[in-house]
């Protein structure tokens, strides 16, 4: 029995993952449970049969890894059939820079009629789209937090489409207005993220839904893994994306009878917007320090806040400048006959979700902290407490004892 202890536990772990994955996918799937259940149970039986042939545990794991890789390639590889782009119209929000700007260019090159919304018609991003885009590309100035501007964009779009519907809506516009611990973030920061990332996207989606339903088209929303997982120091941003993810998932169920496909794109870290702008990070840091009360700043410490800023800036520098994985998933979501409900765009996102979904909370939590912000400092108040526990803060301890003695003398 001892000789087979390790293979037995490896076998048990593999079967547990397969069966647990089957149950979870069936419960969470918005599609028919039958094919998913059959596939996972079939894989479980296959593992059992392979084990019966006394294959070594290491070889079995290698075979399972190869099978997973082949399945992943079949899911993410180029589609065998793709719908034509010609004659299809799509509206993309947030095209001043980043994913929206790159997607507008790529979809225009594919033959889409593109309506690209920007915050500033005189900005560099808008001018570049107007200069390099085809005659099919229309740039519209829209602040998605202003319902009047969204309604005007709807009227402008209808005027160009005539009796046609809108094939695609790409909800890309979004902001991350600050960084730092939730306690250090102003309520205005939380409201700012919600206003753009959730309520703004909600307003655009509701306004353009009749045109999407008319065309039996697609809705593609650019979200973030921060909406599903607790990234440290991104509470305001993550909360808004969590609301957006739930809204998008609900919308997918509701629009299925209408023949409308709804997809969510979850990118990894990319260089977009102000992420590589040193001045931007310094301004954010300065504004955060100025907004804190003296008592709160003393408890956390300015060095703690500065370290957070430096870590965010360092993380942004390492971000991928190639946005093509994200624009590629947008194209697939718009043109695939059966688009996926969720796209993991970029290296590491699928692994992150696998660990988050299947591993114990303690392990996934540690993985997330090590992956994102590797903080070395703790808040100043905790450092003081730690110093007291190991007898390092002797002056503070001495003062406390003196105060206690004085109080006792006064009582006497």
237 is catalytic: yes
What is the DSSP code (8-state) at residue 377? -
Catalytic residue (choose from 237, 270, 304, 344): 237
Between the two ends of the chain, the Cα-to-Cα distance in Å is 74
| Structure token pair of residue 40 | 């996972």
| Angstrom distance (rounded) from CA 153 to CA 173 | 15
Which letter, b or e, does each residue of 306-330 get, where b requires 16 or more Cβ atoms within 10 Å of its Cβ?
Answer: eebbebbbebbeeebeebebbbbbb
Query: DSSP secondary structure string, 95-163?
Result: -SSHHHHHHHHHHHHHT-EEEEEES-TTSHHHHHHHHHS-TT-EEEE--TT-HHHHHHHHHHHHHHHTT
Residues near 324 by beta carbon (within 8 Å), at least 6 away in sequence: 102
Q: Among 308, 307, 223, 300, which residue's Cα sits nearest to residue 267?
A: 223
Residues ≥6 apart with Cβ < 8 Å to 137: 104, 108, 113, 114, 116, 129, 130
Of 120, 219, 238, 135, nearest to 178 (Cα)?
A: 238
| Nearest alpha-carbon partner for 90 in 77, 78, 100 | 100
Does residue 356 contact residue 231 with C-beta atoms inside 8 Å? no
List residues with catalytic annotation: 237
């Amino acid at each position: 029995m001892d000789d087979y202890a390790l293979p037995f536990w490896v076998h048990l772990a593999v079967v547990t993952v397969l069966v647990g994955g089957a149950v979870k996918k069936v419960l969470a799937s918005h599609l028919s449970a039958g094919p998913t259940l059959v596939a996972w149970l079939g894989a479980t039986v296959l593992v059992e049969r392979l084990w019966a042939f006394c294959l070594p545990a290491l070889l079995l794991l290698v075979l399972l890894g190869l099978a997973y890789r082949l399945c992943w390639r079949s899911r993410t590889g180029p589609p065998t059939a793709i719908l034509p782009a010609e004659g299809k119209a799509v509206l993309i929000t947030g095209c001043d820079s980043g994913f929206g700007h790159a997607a507008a260019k790529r979809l225009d090159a594919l033959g889409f009629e593109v309506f690209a919304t920007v915050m500033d018609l005189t900005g560099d991003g808008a001018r570049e789209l107007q200069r390099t885009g085809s005659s099919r590309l229309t740039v519209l100035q829209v602040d998605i937090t202003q319902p009047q501007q969204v309604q005007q964009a709807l009227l402008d779009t209808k005027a160009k489409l005539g009796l046609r519907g809108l094939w695609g809506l790409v909800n890309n516009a979004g902001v991350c207005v600050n960084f730092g611990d939730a306690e250090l973030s102003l309520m205005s920061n939380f409201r700012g993220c919600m206003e753009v990332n959730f309520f703004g996207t909600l307003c655009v989606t509701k306004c353009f839904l009749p045109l999407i339903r008319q065309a039996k088209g697609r809705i593609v929303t650019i979200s973030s893994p921060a909406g599903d997982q607790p990234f440290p120091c991104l509470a305001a941003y993550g909360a808004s994306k969590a609301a957006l993810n739930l809204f998008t998932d609900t919308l997918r169920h509701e629009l299925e009878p209408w023949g409308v496909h709804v997809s969510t794109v979850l990118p990894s870290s990319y260089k977009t917007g102000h992420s590589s702008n040193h001045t931007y990070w310094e301004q954010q840091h300065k504004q955060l320090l100025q907004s804190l009360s003296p008592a709160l700043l003393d408890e956390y410490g300015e060095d703690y806040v500065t370290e957070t800023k430096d870590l965010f800036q360092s993380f942004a520098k390492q971000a991928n400048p190639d946005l093509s994985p994200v624009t590629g998933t947008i194209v697939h979501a718009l043109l695939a006959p059966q688009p996926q409900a969720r796209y993991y765009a970029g290296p590491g996102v699928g692994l992150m979700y696998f660990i988050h979904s299947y591993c114990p909370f303690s392990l996934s939590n540690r993985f997330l902290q090590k992956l994102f912000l590797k903080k070395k400092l703790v808040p100043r108040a905790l450092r003081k407490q730690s110093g007291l526990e190991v007898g390092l803060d002797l002056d503070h301890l001495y003062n406390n004892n003196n105060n206690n003695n004085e109080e006792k003398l006064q009582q006497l």
